[in-house]
Amino acid sequence: MKKIALVTGAGSGIGKACAHALLKDGWQVIFVGRRADVLQAAIAASPDAANGIAMPADLSNEAEVKALFDAVKAKFGRLDLLFNNAGISLPYTLPGDLAGDDWRRMVDINLSGAFYCLSAAFKLMQTQSPQGGRIINNGSISAHVPRPGSIAYAATKHAVSGLTRAASLDGRAFGIAVGQIDIGNVTSDMTAKMTHGVPQADGSIKPEPCMDISAVVDTFMGMARLPLSANVLFTTVMATGMPFVGRG
């Protein structure tokens, strides 16, 4: 019997790459994002597309998330893995210049959306038979230290770490393993600017090293393949040369 995984933000980037790895590994994978056409294209790009299904949803909308997980339960009867990956970022903005609407949009997607999905997955895993499952939250290196001009992103990613710790504790009684992967500088269209220069803690603009997305996929799959008797609570995968540790 195939294990069932749900990946949010599965239309591109890290979500798409990890969803493809799950498909290759023999999982039934639910691709979740806002746009059905993007999700369908992401599934079609995999040689194992027959085991992928698109379920579009606005994850900042609690009712849509509930409907999504109700549909998962109705179709598959259970969920073995949630990769809580969807999120957004904003351009460099100082705290005094950040608009309330942008703050709320960031919180709605990066924090509330992550909670809605975690909550719904937790309930399904708690009540299904056999009980249990795994939830992996996509944090960020910003869950440890912020970049300049990123107060909303840093705040939401710090909060995601709180979700991980609390849900990991609450999941013990039900065989639900909750962990977090914190990622730094993956080569993608979104991070192309890092090779040209990004703001540093000392006020300078410098290029930063990036790593191939395969390093993230390998780390994620190591977590996903663990038996439920074991859990990676937090792990960090990053470009070796990026300025994460040090005095900035």
3 state SS of 154: helix
Residue 238: φ, ψ to 5°: -150, 160
Tokens standing for residue 224: 């996903």
Tokens standing for residue 27: 């999982």
Q: Which residues are paired to 133 by β-bridges?
A: 176
Residue written as token pair 């990956």: 85
- Radius of gyration (C-alpha) of the chain in whole angstroms: 18
Based on the residue annotation, tell me whether 116 is a catalytic residue of this protein: no
Q: Which of 125, 153, 156, 191 is catalytic?
A: 153
Cβ neighbour number for residue 179 with a 10 Å cutoff: 21
Q: Cα separation of 114 and 116, whole Å?
A: 6
Q: Which residues are paired to 198 by β-bridges?
A: 206
Residue numbers annotated as active site:
153
